[in-house]
């Protein structure tokens, strides 16, 4: 792990927002390309990236929700594994809106997250919009340490801050005829360059049954590591459903739509034979192109066995009683 040192040319971290630093860095890189001043551009650039990583953490943002965190940990849910290093969890990301590589955290800094309005509509008593900071003020915030298992067979353990999705469902007052909640991510191709790729079915969409959404484990995360959610991890709000493959955990949510039709999700739309609606973790059901038996834990060298429902069966297995005919594990 490289050692992070402040360079002589860097501003004090407290004076730098990630956005400003990011633009500054781009100017710096442009200057590099233009000028003959630097002998060791590679080394300096690497140093610059490290500086960015440190200052890109939510610690130094001007996020108005910063004062809400840290929140008290709910110790009901035990990860039984060490926390993933914060730097890894905030620099190794899947967020196709910003590109298909894992290294999108810098690009994500361009996403404006204030003002941010969440729309609650569809089969509810009364559709409404709510500002993210008003929503945060209404919701019971707590911290939960969850394992996260990506369908690509890597995993991490992160302390999410946020609130049970059930609290939002209660606020929404769905009609009894609603069977699913569909979650829709932002659309902003101006800053999210991945959204310029028209072959993807933007915006990113995911869905849960109402029973899943009101299960204790279903969580809306608005922070991570005791700080507001970094943009690359899905600020200002994202889903965390740890018994399902990571792609179900929609980031950058702008809409919750209650419906009686099963939502057709982003990845299902792209490749239904590989990514289904249920997507519950199961080591015995391989992905069509790889085994799901083990996983690579970010930051560790060894692989560990994957567990049914990612180890959360005691909370969620009963949700699937009577659904054995469904493709529950892809
Ligand atoms: N909007 C949106 N949400 C998304 C994704 C995405 O590309 N776009 N990727 C998903 C996948 S595949 C995973 S594994 C997790 C990754 O979350 P992380 O970057 O915070 O680890 O986000 C999920 N949510
Ligand atoms: Mo994933």
Under 8 Å between Cβ of 117 and 132: yes
Q: Which CATH superfamily is domain 13-320 in?
A: Oxidoreductase, molybdopterin-binding domain (3.90.420.10)
CA of 214 to the centre of ligand 2 (A): 22
- Annotated ligand binding at 14? The verdict is no
Ligand 1 contacts CB of residue 251 (under 6 A):
yes
CA of 70 to the centre of ligand 2 (A): 26
Q: What share of the chain is helix, strand, coil (3-state, %, to 5)?
A: 30, 20, 50
The b/e string for 43-80 (b: 16+ C-beta within 10 A; e otherwise) is: eeeebbbbbbbbbbbbbbbebebeebbebeeeeebebe
Residue 86's SS3 state is helix
CA of 151 to the centre of ligand 2 (A): 5
- Annotated ligand binding at 177? The verdict is no
Give the atom of ligand 1 at the shortest distance from the alpha carbon of 204.
1
Q: Give the largest CA-CA distance in the chain.
A: 69
The b/e string for 93-114 (b: 16+ C-beta within 10 A; e otherwise) is: bbbbbbbeeeebbbbbbbbebe
CA of 115 to the centre of ligand 1 (A): 22
| 156, 193, 295, 312 from 79: Cα distances, Å | 10, 35, 15, 10
| pTM of the full structure | 0.84
- Annotated ligand binding at 251? The verdict is yes
Asked if residue 133 has a cis previous peptide bond (ω within 30° of 0), the answer is: no
**Partner residues linked to 238 by β-bridges:** 221
Under 8 Å between Cβ of 187 and 202: yes
Identify which ligand lies nearest to the alpha carbon of 188.
1
Tokens of 67: 């004062």
| 29, 70, 171, 240, 324 from 88: Cα distances, Å | 24, 20, 34, 18, 37
Ligand 1 contacts CB of residue 258 (under 6 A):
no
- pLDDT of 14: 33
The upper half-sphere exposure of residue 243, i.e. CA atoms within 13 Å in the direction of its Cβ, equals 25
Ligand 1 contacts CB of residue 150 (under 6 A):
yes
Give the atom of ligand 1 at the shortest distance from the alpha carbon of 224.
20
The upper half-sphere exposure of residue 150, i.e. CA atoms within 13 Å in the direction of its Cβ, equals 15
- Annotated ligand binding at 93? The verdict is yes
Distance CA 151, CA 248 (A): 10
Under 8 Å between Cβ of 195 and 261: no
Ligand 1 contacts CB of residue 233 (under 6 A):
yes
H or E segment at 160?
Answer: strand 154-164
Ligand 1 contacts CB of residue 265 (under 6 A):
no
Over the chain (330 residues), what is each successive 10-residue block's mean pLDDT? 35 34 38 35 37 47 92 96 97 98 98 98 98 98 98 98 98 98 98 95 98 98 98 98 98 99 97 97 98 97 95 98 97
Q: Whose CA is nearest to atom 15 of ligand 1?
A: 246
Ligand 1 probe mutation, 83, 95, 146, 238, most atoms within 8 A of CB: 95
Ligand 1 contacts CB of residue 298 (under 6 A):
no
């Amino acid at each position: 792990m490289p050692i992070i040192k402040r360079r002589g040319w860097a501003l004090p971290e407290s004076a730098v927002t990630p956005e400003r630093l990011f633009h500054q860095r781009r100017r710096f890189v442009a200057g590099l390309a233009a000028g003959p001043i630097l002998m060791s551009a590679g080394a300096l650039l690497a140093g610059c990236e490290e500086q960015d990583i440190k200052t890109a953490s939510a610690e130094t943002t001007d996020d108005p929700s910063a004062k809400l965190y840290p929140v008290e940990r709910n110790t009901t849910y035990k990860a039984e594994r060490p926390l993933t290093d914060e730097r890894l969890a905030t620099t190794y990301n899947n967020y196709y809106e910003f590109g298909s590589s894992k290294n999108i955290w810098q690009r994500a800094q361009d996403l404006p997250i204030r003002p941010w309005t969440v729309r609650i509509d569809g089969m509810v008593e009364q559709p409404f919009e709510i500002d993210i900071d008003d929503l945060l003020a209404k919701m019971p915030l707590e911290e939960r340490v969850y394992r996260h298992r990506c369908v690509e067979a890597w995993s991490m353990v992160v302390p999410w801050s946020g609130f049970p999705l059930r609290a939002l469902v209660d606020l929404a007052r769905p009609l009894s005829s609603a069977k699913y909640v569909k979650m829709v991510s932002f659309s902003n191709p101006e800053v999210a360059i991945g959204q310029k790729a028209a072959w993807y079915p933007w915006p990113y969409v995911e869905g849960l049954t109402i029973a899943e959404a009101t299960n204790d484990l279903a969580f809306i995360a608005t922070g991570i590591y005791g700080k507001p959610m970094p943009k690359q991890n899905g600020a200002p709000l994202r889903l965390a459903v740890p018994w399902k493959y990571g792609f179900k955990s929609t980031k950058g949510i702008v809409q919750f739509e209650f419906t009686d039709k099963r939502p057709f999700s982003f990845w299902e739309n792209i490749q239904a034979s590989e990514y289904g609606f249920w997507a519950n973790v199961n080591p015995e059901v391989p992905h069509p192109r790889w085994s799901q038996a083990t996983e690579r834990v970010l930051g560790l060298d060894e692989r560990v066995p994957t567990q049914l429902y990612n180890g959360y069966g005691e909370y969620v297995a009963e949700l699937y009683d009577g659904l054995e005919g469904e493709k529950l594990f892809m």
